[in-house]
């Protein structure tokens, strides 16, 4: 009887140990996945910063006219952060589409077409596949918002808000920037988190170079 009890205890100990290891591995994987998207995106080697107010020549990329500001949405279909951001971006387009020219700039163009992207967003707006636009605007991660005024000067480059899931209305940085520009105001002193790039490093969907 004692031998049987000892065997049962050993089996229970082994089972419990395996369960602890399995759940520990699952927890560690989840923690790492969440943490890496909450850390700033590493700045690429040889990155050239583009300062607010600098002239951005978009004539080589699109023809939108100069009567409206241009909002560039840098998007990577394979980036989880970009996918979380889609609803937030669509809300901006629907709210300001008659006052601002919205354009989606797609990175990581391996197997996507303009129609693929327009269908994903359910939006009929211009879609560009050109990594040089990101370099011209100083963008090195997705998702990122770039707002250019009617004089082709960089007005805002940064995050949509501080939430990975882009649902924090209190820190809706992109909306604040649009409202400020449309009211002919200087960009207010917003949270530094707005200007710290988070998300996936261009052009691929990862957090490291």
Residue 109 forms part of a structural domain: yes
* Mean predicted confidence (pLDDT) in 191-198: 74
58 domain residue, yes or no:
no
End-to-end CA distance of the chain: 61
Residue 167 lies in a domain: yes
Residue 14 confidence (pLDDT) above 80: no
Contact 201, 44 (CB under 8 A): yes
Residue 46 forms part of a structural domain: no
The total domain count for the chain is: 2
Instruction: Assess whether pLDDT exceeds 60 at residue 196.
Output: yes
- In this prediction, residues 34-54 reach a mean pLDDT of 74
Contacts for 34 with CB less than 8 Å, ≥ 6 apart: none
Pick the range with the lowest mean pLDDT from 46-50, 72-76, 109-113: 109-113
Contact between 161 and 173 under an 8 Å Cβ cutoff? The reply is yes
Residues 23 and 118 in one domain: no
**For the chain, what is the mean pLDDT?**
79
> What pLDDT sits at residue 170?
66
For residue 170, give its domain range.
70-201
Kindly state whether residue 57 falls inside one of the protein's structural domains: no
Residue 13's pLDDT band, with cuts at 50, 70 and 90, is confident
- What pLDDT, in 10s, does the model give residues 128-171? 998 889 989 999 888 899 999 999 999 999 888 775 555 566 67
Centre a 10 Å sphere on the Cβ of residue 39 and count the other Cβ atoms it contains.
9
Distances (CA, A) of 24 to 20, 176, 205: 6, 42, 26
- Confidence band, pLDDT 50/70/90 cuts, at residue 45: confident
Establish if 56 belongs to a structural domain: no
Q: At residue 27, does pLDDT exceed 60?
A: no
Q: Is residue 90 part of a domain?
A: yes
Does residue 124 surpass a pLDDT of 90?
A: yes
Q: What's 107's domain CATH number?
A: 3.40.30.10
> Does pLDDT of 174 surpass 50?
yes
Q: Residue range 190-197: average pLDDT?
A: 73
Residues 187 and 129 placed together within one structural domain of the fold: yes
63 is a domain residue: no
Percent of the chain topping pLDDT 90: 33
Q: Is the dihedral of CA 151, 125, 79, 173 positive or negative?
A: positive
């Amino acid at each position: 009887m004692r031998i049987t009890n000892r065997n049962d205890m050993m089996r229970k100990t082994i089972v419990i140990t395996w369960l602890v290891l399995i759940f520990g591995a699952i927890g560690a994987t989840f923690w790492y996945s969440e943490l890496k998207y909450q850390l700033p995106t590493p700045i690429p080697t040889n990155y050239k910063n583009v300062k607010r107010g600098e002239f951005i020549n978009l004539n080589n990329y699109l023809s939108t006219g100069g009567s409206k500001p241009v909002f560039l949405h840098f998007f990577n279909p394979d980036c989880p952060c970009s996918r979380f951001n889609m609803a937030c971006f669509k809300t901006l387009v629907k709210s300001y589409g008659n006052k601002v020219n919205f354009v989606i700039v797609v990175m990581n163009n391996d197997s996507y077409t303009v129609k693929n992207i327009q269908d994903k967003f359910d939006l009929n707006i211009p879609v560009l596949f050109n990594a040089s636009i990101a370099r011209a605007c100083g963008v090195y991660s997705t998702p990122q918002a770039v707002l250019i005024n009617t004089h082709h000067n960089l007005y805002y480059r940064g995050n949509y808000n501080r939430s990975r899931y882009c649902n924090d209305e209190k820190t809706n940085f992109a909306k604040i920037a649009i409202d400020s520009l449309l009211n002919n105001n200087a960009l207010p002193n917003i949270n530094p988190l707005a200007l710290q790039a988070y998300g996936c490093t261009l052009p691929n969907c990862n957090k490291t170079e």
